[in-house]
């Protein structure tokens, strides 16, 4: 026993003398070095979608991310993968009243009323110093409206804003602006005018991105419905050009001796487009409306409308295979959308006045209502099915030269002598533009 006590006692005494602890101390060091298995705190669990199995490896990864982040992490906030639009002062919808914003985001179906009572603008936007030539609502930002005026400016309106309704004033054109269109991509505007060019402007940054120069006054531009990189332009010399924004060059040109181009319109499938030109000088009425093949660059028919009137506006129906043309004969004619594009001689929309003004028309999003401006300063809304006049809305004493329906709403927006207004029609949602005097 003494020998055993001496054998086991000697190393212990030596360790005590040297002041080292090999046994118990080493065990404590190893246990502290082991990674502690910590279950995710309860606050992490709301981050996971309910009904989805989460493996141990994924739970450990989430716990490691939470512990490695500096400061306090918002665990209850889900990670968003959607791309948000940059918030820009004036363009943002943050200061729009809640009731208006709710209507913009959720389409409200109004009860269709067929009374023909007159209505006044509910919102009036002042900013243009001269007549307004074109107006269009943004389809990606429903609270924004663009207008082009004779004062060489393009205005972007935050229509329901409580503080800054005129969000942007773009002054890149050196002459009067004839037309303006929102890019299908979002916050970009394409405008054209008397300075013989079309200009693409980033509304978000307020920077001009591209300039497309031509040898003619550009009267109208229109984006291709399927390819946002392509747009069609028509001008005073009768030239029709299809531009590619990626290269900045003309992709195709449609050659035919025509008068000044008044309007162009793509078919919904993008295979055809319609051009309307002024034939008063050539007396060639068969060329007033031409249906073109986009890819083959040839006219499919040039005897669509043979009456001795020019047509300042052409519009395809959003769903039906037909299109309409605003005639200087003080009516809107209807044509078949299929060859040979026959005129419907038994149905037309009449009651308004054109009287030489470039009066335009437009369909509602559902195609049930056709809106038209008028030289008497009123807006006329017709039933597409019956051609019946649903309502006449008196806005201003000046000529109403454009109508543009708001995509989700049932209201209308007029412009008059540099003034923009919003009308509630009670039949459908539209935006109208008014001009003081002639062009």
Q: What CATH number corresponds to the domain at position 232?
A: 2.130.10.10
User: Rounded mean pLDDT of 50-66?
Assistant: 68
DSSP string covering 282-311, please? Answer: TT-GGGSEEEEETTTTEEEES-S--SS---
Which of 218, 320, 232, 314 has the alpha carbon at shortest distance from 274?
314
Beta strands at 415-416 and 419-422: parallel, antiparallel or unpaired: antiparallel
Which of 415, 432, 358, 361 has the alpha carbon at shortest distance from 131?
415
User: Which helix H or strand E contains 207, and what residues bound it?
Assistant: strand 207-213
d(CA 178, CA 152): 9
Q: Which domain holds residue 172?
A: 119-435
How many domains is the chain partitioned into structurally?
Answer: 1
For residue 292, report the phi and psi dihedrals to the nearest 5 degrees. -110, 150
> Residue 197 falls within a domain, yes or no?
yes
> Residue 139 falls within a domain, yes or no?
yes
> Residue 132 falls within a domain, yes or no?
yes
The predicted structure's pLDDT at residue 287:
80
Ranking 119-128, 344-353, 354-363 by mean pLDDT, the lowest is 119-128
> Residue 77 falls within a domain, yes or no?
no
Range with the largest mean pLDDT of 53-62, 101-110, 198-207: 198-207
DSSP state of 154: E
Average pLDDT, the chain: 77
Confidence of residue 403 (pLDDT cuts 50, 70, 90): confident
> Residue 144 falls within a domain, yes or no?
yes
DSSP state of 40: P
Dihedral sign for Cα atoms in the order 354, 356, 357, 360: positive
> Residue 92 falls within a domain, yes or no?
no
> Residue 72 falls within a domain, yes or no?
no
pLDDT tens digits, one per residue of 279-309: 776 666 678 899 999 999 999 987 889 888 9
> Residue 28 falls within a domain, yes or no?
no
């Amino acid at each position: 026993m003494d020998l055993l006590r001496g054998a086991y006692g000697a190393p212990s005494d030596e360790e005590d003398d040297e002041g080292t602890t090999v046994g118990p101390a080493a065990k404590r060091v190893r246990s502290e070095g082991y990674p502690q298995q910590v279950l995710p705190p309860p606050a992490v669990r709301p981050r996971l979608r309910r009904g989805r199995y989460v493996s141990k490896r994924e739970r450990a990864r989430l716990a490691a991310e939470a512990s490695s982040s500096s400061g306090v992490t918002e665990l209850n906030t889900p990670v968003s993968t959607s791309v948000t639009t940059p918030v820009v002062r004036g363009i943002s919808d943050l200061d729009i009243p809640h009731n208006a914003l709710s209507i913009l985001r959720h389409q409200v179906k109004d009860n269709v009323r067929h009374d023909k009572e007159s209505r006044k603008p509910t919102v009036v936007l002042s900013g243009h110093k001269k007549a307004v030539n074109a107006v269009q609502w943004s389809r990606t930002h429903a609270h924004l409206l663009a207008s082009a005026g004779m004062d060489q400016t393009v205005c972007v309106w935050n229509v329901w804003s409580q503080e800054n309704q005129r969000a942007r004033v773009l002054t890149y054109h050196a002459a009067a602006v004839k037309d303006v269109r929102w890019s299908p991509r979002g916050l970009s505007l394409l405008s054209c005018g008397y300075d013989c060019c079309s200009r693409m402007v980033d509304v978000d940054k307020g920077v001009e991105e591209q300039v497309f120069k031509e040898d003619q006054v550009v009267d109208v531009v229109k984006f291709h419905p399927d390819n946002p990189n392509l747009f069609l332009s028509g001008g005073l010399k009768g030239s029709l050009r299809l531009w590619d924004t990626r290269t900045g060059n003309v992709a195709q040109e449609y050659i035919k001796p025509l008068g000044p181009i008044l309007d162009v319109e793509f078919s919904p499938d993008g295979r055809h487009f319609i051009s309307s030109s002024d034939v008063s000088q050539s007396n060639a009425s068969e060329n007033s409306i031409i249906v073109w093949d986009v890819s083959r660059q040839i006219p499919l028919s040039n005897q669509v409308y043979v009456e001795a009137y020019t047509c300042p506006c052409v519009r395809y129906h959003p769903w039906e295979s037909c299109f309409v043309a605003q005639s200087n004969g003080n009516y809107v004619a209807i044509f078949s959308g299929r060859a040979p594009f026959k005129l419907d001689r038994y149905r037309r929309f009449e009651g308004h006045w054109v009287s030489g003004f470039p009066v335009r028309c437009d369909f509602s999003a559902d195609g049930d209502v056709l809106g038209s401006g008028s030289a008497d300063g009123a807006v006329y809304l017709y039933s597409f099915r019956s051609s019946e006049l649903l309502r006449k809305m008196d806005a201003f004493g000046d000529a109403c030269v454009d109508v543009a329906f708001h995509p989700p709403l049932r209201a209308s927006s007029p412009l008059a002598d540099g003034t923009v207004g919003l009308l509630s029609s009670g039949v459908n949602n539209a935006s109208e533009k008014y001009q003081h005097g002639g062009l």
